[in-house]
Amino acid sequence: MRLGVGVIRPFGQTVPVRIQRASRHLTGIRTIMAQKAVVNSATDLPLDKARWITLKKIDWTDQEGQSRTWEMAERKTRGSAGVDAVAILAILNAPNRPPSTIIIEQFRPPVNAYVIELPAGLIDANESVESTAFRELEEETGYKADKVLEISPLMVCDPGMSSANMKLVALNVPLSESETGPDGRPKSPKQKLEQGEHIVRRVVEIPNLKAELEEYEKRGFVVDARLSHFAIAWDMATKFGAGKL
């Protein structure tokens, strides 16, 4: 991630770089770019010019024997693992702190908005789900995991439109006292972003995640469905456990 002279905000305001966020839940330095990313145009793309995605027509027969057709999008990048991508639920365990996770902010051109989501990435050819999760977490956030806590079954993201699939990988990220600040919050390690990647990371205490996502939405961000589902499920499970639902 490059340092610039202003902060990306959904409404175009700027503030000086390296301002520590004052939120009591979010930690880390907000890297600020000189201007806001915007979509300039959207035009039809010939299929032979598409690098990452193609369109297909499906001829199929429904449960009543009726012949039907369907239009779908399909990734061109699926490798030998049979899985397109991983999303990473990093569980940060710092001394004397509630469990935290890492969320990221980045501009997503298809929705013309800054999106709040889990770290994620495509699986390279001949790469495993686990190795992709470790690699992407370190590249996008700088944090290093030491073990896999959970790997989800194969999940589809938008089955009415696309064959795209993914797995959710929960990783344990241990933090020693030397890796936390005076207030006990995790320090921000150096990211390993690729050219053209502009990713802002946040460390959020999991009990506060749902409330933080609601605040993001009020500020004009779009929240990814998978992250929102996790936050809502955690909140509801906590309420069930406390007898509040």
Q: What is the pLDDT of residue 29?
A: 40
Largest CA-CA distance found in the chain, in angstroms, rounded: 67
- Lookup result for tokens 């369907």: 70
What's the pLDDT tens digit per position in 176-191?
766 666 666 777 899 9
Q: What is the pLDDT of residue 237?
A: 96
- 3-state helix/strand/coil string of 163-178: CCEEEEEEEEEECCHH
Under 8 Å between Cβ of 57 and 67: no
**pLDDT (average), residues 72-91:** 94
How far is the C-alpha of 91 from the C-alpha of 82, rounded, in Å?
26
pTM of the model: 0.82
What's the pLDDT tens digit per position in 193-215?
988 889 999 999 999 999 999 99
Find, among 77, 93, 87, 155, the residue nearest to 115 by Cα: 87
Under 8 Å between Cβ of 3 and 29: no
Q: Are strands 53-61 and 67-75 parallel, antiparallel or unpaired?
A: antiparallel
The structural domains of the chain, with segments of one domain joined by +, span: 82-241
Residue 28 reports pLDDT greater than 80:
no
Q: Class of the 82-241 domain? A: alpha beta
Dump the DSSP string for 90-122.
EEEE-TTS--EEEEEEEEEGGGTEEEEE--EEE
Q: Model confidence at 143, in pLDDT bands (50, 70, 90)?
A: very high
